[in-house]
């Protein structure tokens, strides 16, 4: 008999893309599986999930606002109302299991599911578990993780190391190097650096590249510089119409596979989803973790790779003065590039979506 599964969470692409990948994997196992998403009203998932072909219901929920005491006054009310609505959703949909991928909506939905005796599974993407997932972990049947050492947050017997689901089309780079250089109008005779701060962009990465742009041009290297939508216009204006042809500035990378394929070295933030892709891509990478995330989890994600000699680390506060020098040094060190590529490749878990989907079905069968 086909299953009915609720998937909850979102807020950022790092939560939404894995959630959709798990849904797609469940559908691949059994096309008759019924899937309902539950997200936070007004957040990114309310647009991305329907675009992927799934139904979503929004909860009026927010996170704790560190900078605004007034906004936090509404948090308990929104939380109680969200749990009540989540219980109604569960009564109506009658799921066989509930999956939480992180993000505001995960907490109320998984808590409501556990109250109703519905088996739950948590997909913890980071190397450092957030407060909500730690709390929900006690009741979950399975906790799918991407990093070692997660027993310090969750019961050991519930943990399964699956890795993080990735966008397969983004990491399919084999045989695409020349096509990639053509797309970005780059030369096959020069080394290429890819700088990516995610769809919204990363101010520190942008400032660091701007600060070192003369050094990059003098070194005769090429840069694919993805600025993010908040910064693109300003950067293009500052560089002016006569900017150097080796500096390719883009707002967003629609073909992430070709950006990865073109790169000799990659500079990136250290979100869990991005790291999962970088492990499969197997290119030398410099990670500059964002300090503006809960529990500083990006730094912990990055250090987990550094411990395996699988990435170079540059702290956000040092990036403007050190990042460009580090990337140029790495481009000139072929041995280090090979070591980093080999070591990051060993950490790849490319079939996480399918493994997690099978675990979801397993907990419904054992109920």
What is the reported pLDDT for 1? 78
Tokens of residue 245, six digits: 């042809």
End-to-end CA distance of the chain: 14
Residue 220 gets which letter from DSSP?
Answer: T
What is the reported pLDDT for 86? 94
Strands 142-145 and 4-8: unpaired
Mean pLDDT for each consecutive 10-residue tract of the chain (367 residues)? 91 83 95 95 88 93 65 73 92 96 88 95 89 88 94 95 91 95 95 87 90 95 93 89 89 94 96 93 96 82 94 95 97 97 95 96 86
CA distances from 96 to 14, 166, 356, 359 (A): 25, 25, 15, 13
Nearest to 18 by CA among 104, 115, 147, 122: 122
What is the reported pLDDT for 211? 94
CB-based contacts of 286: which residues, under 8 Å, 6+ apart?
265, 266, 267, 268, 311, 312, 313, 314, 323, 326, 327, 330
Handedness of CA 24, 30, 31, 35 (dihedral sign): negative
Strands 159-161 and 142-145: parallel
Whether residue 56 contacts residue 45, with contact meaning beta carbons closer than 8 Å, is answered with: yes
**Residue 191: count of CB within 10 angstroms of its CB:** 18
Nearest to 14 by CA among 301, 240, 315: 301
Measured CA to CA, the distance from residue 99 to residue 121 in angstroms comes to 5
SS3 4: strand
Measured CA to CA, the distance from residue 70 to residue 303 in angstroms comes to 35
Measured CA to CA, the distance from residue 324 to residue 310 in angstroms comes to 19
pTM equals 0.87
Measured CA to CA, the distance from residue 24 to residue 43 in angstroms comes to 21
What is the reported pLDDT for 292? 77
Measured CA to CA, the distance from residue 205 to residue 197 in angstroms comes to 7
Tokens of residue 265, six digits: 């070295």
SS3 249: strand
Residue 356 gets which letter from DSSP?
Answer: H
């Amino acid at each position: 008999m086909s299953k009915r599964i609720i998937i909850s969470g979102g807020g950022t692409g790092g939560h939404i893309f894995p959630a959709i990948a798990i849904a797609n994997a469940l559908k691949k196992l059994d096309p008759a599986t019924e899937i309902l998403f539950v997200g936070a009203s007004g957040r990114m998932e309310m647009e991305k999930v329907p675009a992927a072909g799934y139904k979503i219901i929004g909860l009026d929920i927010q996170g704790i606002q560190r900078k605004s005491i007034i906004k936090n006054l509404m948090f308990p009310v929104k939380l109680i109302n969200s749990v009540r609505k989540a219980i109604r959703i569960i009564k109506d949909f009658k799921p066989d299991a509930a999956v939480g991928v992180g993000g505001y909506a995960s907490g109320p939905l998984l808590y409501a599911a556990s109250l109703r005796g519905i088996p739950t599974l948590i997909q913890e993407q980071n190397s450092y578990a957030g407060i909500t997932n730690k709390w929900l972990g006690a009741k979950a049947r399975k906790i799918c993780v991407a990093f070692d050492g997660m027993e310090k947050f969750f019961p050991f017997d519930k943990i399964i190391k699956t890795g993080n689901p990735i966008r397969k089309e983004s990491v399919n780079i084999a045989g695409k190097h020349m096509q990639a250089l053509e797309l970005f109008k780059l030369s096959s005779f020069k080394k290429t650096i890819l700088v990516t701060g995610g769809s919204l962009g990363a101010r520190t990465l942008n400032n660091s590249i701007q600060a070192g742009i003369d050094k990059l041009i003098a070194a005769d290297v090429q840069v694919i510089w993805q600025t993010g939508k908040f910064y693109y216009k300003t950067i293009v204006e500052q560089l002016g119409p006569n900017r150097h042809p080796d500096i390719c500035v883009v707002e967003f990378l629609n073909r992430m596979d070709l950006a990865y394929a073109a790169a000799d070295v990659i500079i990136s933030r250290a979100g869990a989803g991005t790291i999962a892709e970088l492990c499969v891509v197997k290119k030398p990478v410099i990670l500059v973790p964002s300090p503006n995330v809960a529990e500083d989890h990006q730094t912990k994600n990055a250090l987990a790779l550094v411990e395996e000699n699988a990435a170079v680390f540059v702290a956000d506060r040092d990036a403007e003065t050190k990042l460009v020098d580090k990337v140029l040094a790495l481009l000139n060190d072929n041995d280090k590039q090979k070591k980093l590529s080999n070591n990051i490749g060993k950490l790849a878990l490319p079939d996480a979506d399918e493994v997690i989907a099978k675990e979801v079905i397993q907990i419904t069968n054992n109920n």
